[in-house]
Copies of this chain bind each other. A is one copy, B any other.
């Protein structure tokens, strides 16, 4: 398997050579085998383990297991603990989705702060087959059948070409130890059923099932990319964005026999759910409308117009008192006094704390908001103009948070700092504000 992986990397991921790799390591079979394999191949690796604290003492057992393995093998290791249940509750997420968000957010932080080039996860061929069949059994669209990508930005999944059997065999041959993967019981029941009953049947119908399946999935990925292309090409012809609203030209849209598919593709990210109502708008009377949690779609003569609606959250202000170190809602921000400024990404700013008016206010942007873009002394700019220049989509604008000191904008969070609060030679107290 080492040799096969070596060829696989040369072939599919040649860019991994001489790079700093962070291996996501739960302590389960797959990730322990991945760690062992990459050590054999003499890559520059470190392990990252998340303790989600979902199974009490067992979770800490996993953590200790990974730490001990790293120490024994002299591999750097990063460990963090999450209050996953609290996070899930705060953001109204399933435990599984919460764990995934926490995990990947933390990986990206490590990537940046510790200068890793890539994050590696140990997903394998059977994971993809099982997910495909789970989604198929529940009902799904194309995106539910295409599987997890082998390469997605900085995340690489080098074991996707290997089956669970190969991985288990390797662990057996090399005396690799592991701990059982954590996953919730109902998901586990479903996966086990698929693993032990359904997949063997498919292999009985075709002994080459796994490799045929991998081809199938790669064809479906190609189709999915073409669907995305079609969606974008037709969007450019049929939709125009103006300030806060997008206009869908019905005369042009209805020339397409499959116009519903396009409406679905464009509007799905705005969380509509009553799709029949959305489709029916197309030939409703002017003035008829459909709502999602944050958006309204209205029929107006020859157009469907999508606009944001101001719900409580859009109006709500979150106050941050002096001395607070961490804010978790509506965003995760940390506040920390530092002695010097370092090179910063868009996810952190340094401000002169003495210029701030506490409590700071975290809120959504409002019509009329103005700021002084960092580096443009004395010049002010409307936020609406900034969004336009930066080509923000409607959704990006609505999701954008503003950190204010009184009326003054301190930070368009994650995008641009205000000039007025920047560090100067006279600054005495430096505050670092970090978006996580």
Interface positions of A (Cβ within 8 A of B): 134, 136-142, 145, 190, 193-194, 197-198, 201-202, 204-206, 208-209, 211-213, 215-216, 219-220, 222-227, 229-231, 233-234, 256-258, 260-262, 264-265
Give the interface SS of chain A, mostly helix, strand, loop or mixed.
helix
Measured in the bound complex, the distance between the Cα atoms of B198 and A136 in whole Å is 13
Q: Is the CB of A226 within 8 A of B258?
A: yes
Q: Is the CB of B216 within 8 A of A139?
A: yes
A258 neighbours in B (Cβ, 8 Å):
222, 225-226, 229
Q: What distance in Å separates the Cβ of A99 from its nearest Cβ neighbour in chain B?
A: 23
Measured in the bound complex, the distance between the Cα atoms of B202 and A200 in whole Å is 13
Measured in the bound complex, the distance between the Cα atoms of B134 and A180 in whole Å is 34
User: Which interface residue of A136, A197, A224 has the most chain B CB atoms within 10 A?
Assistant: A136
Measured in the bound complex, the distance between the Cα atoms of B233 and A213 in whole Å is 29
Q: Is the CB of B261 within 8 A of A226?
A: yes
Q: Is the CB of A137 within 8 A of B220?
A: no
User: Which interface residue of A193, A256, A258 has the most chain B CB atoms within 10 A?
Assistant: A258
Partner among B141, B201, B215 whose Cβ is within 8 Å of the Cβ of A198:
B201
Q: Is the CB of B260 within 8 A of A222?
A: yes
Q: Is the CB of B261 within 8 A of A220?
A: no
Q: Is the CB of B139 within 8 A of A215?
A: yes
A261 neighbours in B (Cβ, 8 Å):
222-223, 225-226
Q: Is the CB of A138 within 8 A of B206?
A: yes
Q: What are 22 A-B pairs at a CB distance below 8 A?
A: A137-B209, A139-B206, A139-B212, A139-B213, A139-B216, A141-B220, A142-B142, A142-B220, A197-B201, A198-B198, A201-B201, A222-B258, A222-B261, A222-B264, A223-B223, A223-B224, A226-B231, A226-B258, A226-B261, A229-B233, A229-B234, A230-B233
A219 neighbours in B (Cβ, 8 Å):
140-142
Q: Is the CB of A198 within 8 A of B202?
A: yes
